[in-house]
Amino acid sequence: MTLAESQALLHALLEGGPAADPERLEACFAGTPELPAAERVGIYAGMFLSRQVDALRASFPRLAALLGEERFEALCGDYLAAHPSEHHDIGRLGRRLPAFLRLHPDPGRPELPDLAELERARDEVFFEAEAAPAPREALAALPPEAFAAARLRMVPALRLLALAHDAAAAWRGPEGDGSPPARAGPVALAVWRTGFEVVHGPLDADEGAALASALAGEPLAAVCAAFEGRDDPGGAAASALASWLAEGWIAAVEPPPGAGA
């Protein structure tokens, strides 16, 4: 058996278990009367799944708690069969779990994909690159005529989630299956880092739209336009921008080309 053949075989036995190909297993691997080859391969096969389930549990602790051990493991088994690991960091194994849950919804728990999306965002934000936040006076320093066309560069460790359920409540909620399904209705959540700690919080719908526009690199005029429905749109925009600066979400305020600094 060539090296390539033996690796293909062991891979098949890890995914399918020792019973997947008992004849070739015996031909390739040696055992002892006390511990036959199939059981030895079974040690690897058992660890193959449990190690990946452990990694997913570390990335999605609230989802795992909400589902309970048995259902979480079953979910992981289905997910890993559809999305085997393609990255050297086992910590990234669950990056496609929110999308997988959307494709395979649990009728009794429609909020699960949103909860998973929140946990994935928290995981991503934890490992994002450092970026020095812009100083608090960065917006005030902009020449008034440059304001509308200026753009914000947001720090990498920031995510905006537009969800269909209150995933933050599900994230907080009591563990086990006893908790009621999370409230339905559009929710905007920001996920970011203070120091090394990941935090998340809700945004009003218009502030969520403004942040989406900032993250998309649109000019400040478009960002501020999100607040048009308010009694005092200018004041609401100014206070949102000030809070983004205070939270360290803005890495830089970039004046339009040609504008004086």
Binding stretches for other proteins (CB under 8 A): 1-4, 6-8, 10-11, 14, 27-32, 34-35, 37, 39-41, 43-44, 47-48, 51-52, 55, 84-91, 126-130, 156-157, 193, 196
How far is the C-alpha of 34 from the C-alpha of 106, rounded, in Å?
44
Minimum distance of other proteins from residue 32's CB (angstroms): 7
Minimum distance of other proteins from residue 84's CB (angstroms): 4
How far is the C-alpha of 245 from the C-alpha of 243, rounded, in Å?
5
**Residue/partner pairs of 173-182 with CB below 8 Å, 24 or more apart:** 173/62, 173/66, 175/65, 175/66, 176/65, 176/66, 176/68, 177/66, 177/67, 177/68, 179/66, 181/108, 181/109, 181/110, 181/111, 182/111, 182/114, 182/115
Minimum distance of other proteins from residue 139's CB (angstroms): 25
Nearer CB in complex with other proteins: 52/59? 52
Choose among 15, 122, 126, 103: nearest CA to 63.
Answer: 122
Minimum distance of other proteins from residue 85's CB (angstroms): 4
Positive/negative CA dihedral, 28, 31, 36, 38? negative
Positive/negative CA dihedral, 87, 57, 113, 166? negative
Minimum distance of other proteins from residue 254's CB (angstroms): 21
Nearer CB in complex with other proteins: 3/261? 3
Nearer CB in complex with other proteins: 55/66? 55
Nearer CB in complex with other proteins: 50/239? 50
Nearer CB in complex with other proteins: 12/148? 12
Nearer CB in complex with other proteins: 43/74? 43
How far is the C-alpha of 144 from the C-alpha of 50, rounded, in Å?
59
Minimum distance of other proteins from residue 211's CB (angstroms): 21
